[in-house]
Chains A and B, each alone.
Chain A
Amino acid sequence: MREQRASLPGSIIAWVVAFLMFFPILWMLITSFKTEAQAIANPPLIIFRPVLESFAAALSQSGYILFAENSIIISLVSTALAIAIAFPAAYSMAFQPGKRTQDMLVWMLSTKMLPPVGVLVPIYIICRDTGLLDTRTALVIVDMLMNLPIVVWMLFSFFRDIPKDILEAAHMDGAGPRRQMIYLLLPLASPGIASAALLAIILSWNEAFWSINLTASHAGTLAAYIARYSAPEGLFWAKLSAASVLAVAPILIFGSLAQRRLVRGLTAGAVK
């Protein structure tokens, strides 16, 4: 079969769209290597002598390491917990569905449509009463709950690709649900689990609302770190850009490495 090749106009359009989408990140990167005076120059400077002073300021002034450490721990732990809870839930929904399974799946997804600010006060009070304000534990729990519907949906889509007969054969051989999940489903669905985990890590990393509202000086993530560079009466465009580069670089590199798997995960079930 002949390989289908993209047309030239199509390729050009794709490149232009890709460049437009990438341009803000590129501009942020360029600005981060400017001085504050160069950053506000009008017309904007394209050719200039790059300096690292904004990075030095962003790293030394505002405790980048603590925020980065919080981001890493919170995104990894919340994702691990979300997978641990979503895995048996998706197994049950995919292989032993009840009358209300579909409704439950839709309801789970509908919780994502709730504006977070609508539940800010109750969650804030719960955190206050349990002593979890400004702790990583609070953000782990909130991020885990926030990502759970998407992780369940993704795992559910992957599990539906697995022939039921395999699990039935195992059942005939005396394997209970726990053994089926561990010895059959886990190896078979590992690409799907990895995709779901990658997406959950990225979503958790980028989460800003709860990170800003539930933390103060100890448990803020890199999203809160960037927010501090927005000033009503200060000119910090270069520092803001440098801080943003420092905040998005880890997840950008991580996302690029995991791109193929991520795309497969996001499009799972979409072509059926």
Chain B
Amino acid sequence: MQRPTPASLPLAAALIAGLSLTPLAAGAATLTIATVNNPDMLIMQKLSPEFTKETGINLNWVVLPENTLRQRVTTDIATKSGTFDIVTIGTFEVPQWGKNSWLAPIGDLGPAYDLNDIFPSVRAGLSYKGTLYAVPFYAESSMTYYRKDLFQAAGLTMPAQPTYDQIAKFADKLNDPAKGVYGICLRGLPGWGENMAFLTTLVNTFGGEWFNMKWEPQLTSPAWEKAINFYVDLMKKDGPPNATSNGFTENLALFSTGKCGMWIDATVAAGVLYDPTKSKVAADVAVAPAPTAVTPHGAHWLWSWALGIPKTTHQLADAQKFLTWSTSQSYIELVGKTDGWVAVPPGTRQSTYKNPDYLKAAPFAPLVQQMILSADPEHPTLNPVPYTGVQFVGIPEFQGIGTTVGQDIAAALAGQTTVAQALAKAEASTKRAMTEAGYLQ
């Protein structure tokens, strides 16, 4: 008998393994949901068996880093592949994707859903030309976190509405690197959604804007120079070392471990900072509105992680059922019961901010509500602008432009260039990108 030849072994192995190459096809009632790994989404995944129990619809989760998720979902929608039935996207994408007809308009979610309970500013941020294209899972603005114990020790009082000049003076007094406390922590990590989110609000309140009404970049304007010089000087004097590595997550770690006197960032961080199991400073943290300078316009941002349904889905009705379940008031109550009220998805519904259980667990809630209600993406700057969005410019090109400018400013923060050089470089690259995109002749 002839023995099998050695050369046939790899082929045989491939053939045998090939039998198990394609996993079993999923049943008909299975939704595929693309999402990010934020704490609120983890709770949603944990509680999703409740949805399956109620409806019989199974859920598959695809969890990806934020930028990868955008690219992955964009590819899938642009090629009309229909892999995802529900996608997690933000206020940056929703209006643009709605305009491109990539998302199914949110239809009637039933009388029990109470769409009017959702904050109007959040609904507006998730709409294009008056049509809602996604429902908010949670929403945030920005505000000032500070250590009331350090303020008290230094004889300082946080005003009801701080200004950036006051913040700089407070940071000077609180800064004590010998004791491991820095006066202020701010984002330095380059990226349109990282340092540029904060810096755009800073420039807005200093009276600047990204573009004038003719879409000409304004990055070398006096307002930009003043704002960025203020930021670089403040961080060099009173900020932590190597601040260009610090984004939201890193600053959250620094503040929660007692390294920062103040921090201006997303309201969603309050849930962690006030939780004694996650924060060393839970008893000493306090909040104030985001500081202002020349104008209150655009001084604090508006962002929402929302759930939308790609038009390419084959399961629109089932997808709508999940949207209804996961963004309803009853879901918020479910989280309150299972994970505690401080963990409920914030910033979406007015009824949450009337709930005594939530108000008791989250003393920061009234300010968050005030910040979200007063954020105005339609009028983000002192001067009129052709775009919407407080901490971003709602055009597809902004991701690239914002990240490039973020890198230039990070170079200035790291001391590799001057602010004037960084802004001149940023202005030139932005002008080039806008010309290539056809906004400028």
Q: Which of B34-42, B129-137, B225-233 contacts A (4 or more CB under 8 A)?
A: B34-42
Q: Which of B247-255, B325-333, B431-439 contacts A (4 or more CB under 8 A)?
A: B247-255
Which chain B residue shows the least CB distance to A233?
Answer: B38
Contact B83 A81 (CB under 8 A): no
The digit string for A27-48, where 1 denotes a CB below 8 A from any CB of B, is 0000000001100111000000
CA distance A124 to B75 in the complex (A): 8
Known: A73-B21, A231-B249. A80 touches B278 (CB 8 A): no
CA distance A120 to B76 in the complex (A): 11
Residues of B close to A84: CB separation below 8 A: 7, 10-11, 14
> CB of B266 within 8 A of chain A?
yes
Residues of B close to A213: CB separation below 8 A: 71-72, 75
Which chain B residue shows the least CB distance to A217?
Answer: B60
Known: A182-B7, A217-B62, A236-B37. A121 touches B17 (CB 8 A): no
Known: A216-B62, A235-B253. A134 touches B248 (CB 8 A): no
CA distance A37 to B248 in the complex (A): 16
CA distance A230 to B10 in the complex (A): 37
CA distance A236 to B36 in the complex (A): 13
The digit string for B57-98, where 1 denotes a CB below 8 A from any CB of A, is 000111111101001100110111101100000000000000
Residues of A close to B45: CB separation below 8 A: 61
Contact A182 B5 (CB under 8 A): yes
Contact B22 A135 (CB under 8 A): yes
Residues of B close to A233: CB separation below 8 A: 36, 38-39, 248-249, 266, 268-269
Residues of A close to B61: CB separation below 8 A: 217
CA distance A181 to B6 in the complex (A): 10
Contact B38 A232 (CB under 8 A): yes
CA distance A232 to B192 in the complex (A): 13
Contact B257 A76 (CB under 8 A): no
The digit string for B313-353, where 1 denotes a CB below 8 A from any CB of A, is 00000000000000000000000000000000000000000
> CB of A101 within 8 A of chain B?
no
Residues of A close to B259: CB separation below 8 A: 42
Contact B193 A227 (CB under 8 A): no
Contact A232 B193 (CB under 8 A): yes
Main secondary structure of the interface of A (DSSP, over half): helix
Contact A182 B83 (CB under 8 A): no
Contact A235 B37 (CB under 8 A): no
Known: A120-B75, A231-B36. A76 touches B17 (CB 8 A): yes
Contact B37 A219 (CB under 8 A): no
Which chain B residue shows the least CB distance to A190?
Answer: B6
8 Å CB contact of B253 from A40, A73, A140: A40
Known: A77-B14, A120-B75. A231 touches B37 (CB 8 A): yes
CA distance A80 to B9 in the complex (A): 9
The digit string for A224-242, where 1 denotes a CB below 8 A from any CB of B, is 1001111111111000000
CA distance A154 to B249 in the complex (A): 44
Residues of B close to A217: CB separation below 8 A: 32, 60-62
Most B CB contacts (10 A, CB to CB) among A87, A128, A234 go to A234
Among A54-110, those with CB < 8 Å from B are 61-62, 73, 76-77, 80-81, 83-84, 87
Name the distance in Å between B185's Cβ and chain A's nearest Cβ: 12
Contact A212 B64 (CB under 8 A): yes
CA distance A143 to B64 in the complex (A): 21
Known: A76-B13, A77-B13, A231-B37. A219 touches B23 (CB 8 A): yes
> CB of A125 within 8 A of chain B?
yes
Total residues of chain B contacting the partner, CB 8 A = 56
Which chain B residue shows the least CB distance to A136?
Answer: B21
Name the distance in Å between A46's Cβ and chain B's nearest Cβ: 16
CA distance A77 to B32 in the complex (A): 27
> CB of B256 within 8 A of chain A?
yes
Among A108-135, those with CB < 8 Å from B are 120-121, 124-125, 128, 133-135
CA distance A41 to B259 in the complex (A): 10
Contact A137 B10 (CB under 8 A): no
Known: A181-B7, A216-B60. A235 touches B252 (CB 8 A): yes
Among B351-406, those with CB < 8 Å from A are none
Known: A41-B257, A87-B7, A219-B23. A234 touches B37 (CB 8 A): yes
Name the distance in Å between B388's Cβ and chain A's nearest Cβ: 22
Which chain A residue shows the least CB distance to B138?
Answer: A233
Name the distance in Å between B42's Cβ and chain A's nearest Cβ: 8
Residues of B close to A36: CB separation below 8 A: 278
CA distance A134 to B253 in the complex (A): 36
> CB of A202 within 8 A of chain B?
no
CA distance A73 to B17 in the complex (A): 7
Residues of B close to A229: CB separation below 8 A: 37
Contact B81 A124 (CB under 8 A): yes
The digit string for B412-427, where 1 denotes a CB below 8 A from any CB of A, is 0000000000000000
Which chain A residue shows the least CB distance to B22?
Answer: A135
Which chain B residue shows the least CB distance to A135?
Answer: B22
CA distance A182 to B7 in the complex (A): 6
8 Å CB contact of A40 from B17, B193, B248, B256: B256
Name the distance in Å between A122's Cβ and chain B's nearest Cβ: 10
CA distance A168 to B23 in the complex (A): 47
> CB of B20 within 8 A of chain A?
yes
Which chain B residue shows the least CB distance to A39?
Answer: B253
> CB of B272 within 8 A of chain A?
yes
Residues of A close to B268: CB separation below 8 A: 233
Contact A186 B63 (CB under 8 A): no
> CB of A218 within 8 A of chain B?
yes
CA distance A216 to B76 in the complex (A): 11
CA distance A136 to B32 in the complex (A): 18
Residues of A close to B38: CB separation below 8 A: 231-234
8 Å CB contact of B22 from A137, A216, A231: A137
Residues of B close to A135: CB separation below 8 A: 21-23
Contact B21 A227 (CB under 8 A): no
8 Å CB contact of A186 from B7, B17, B23: B7
Chain A to chain B contacts (Cβ below 8 Å), 6 pairs: A42-B253, A62-B63, A121-B78, A186-B6, A212-B68, A231-B38
Chain A residues close to B by CB (< 8 Å)? 36-37, 40-42, 61-62, 73, 76-77, 80-81, 83-84, 87, 120-121, 124-125, 128, 133-137, 140, 181-182, 186-187, 212-213, 216-220, 224, 227-236
Known: A77-B14, A77-B18, A84-B11. 15 other contacts (CB 8 A): A61-B42, A76-B17, A77-B13, A124-B79, A137-B21, A182-B7, A213-B75, A217-B32, A218-B60, A227-B64, A229-B37, A233-B38, A233-B248, A235-B253, A235-B278
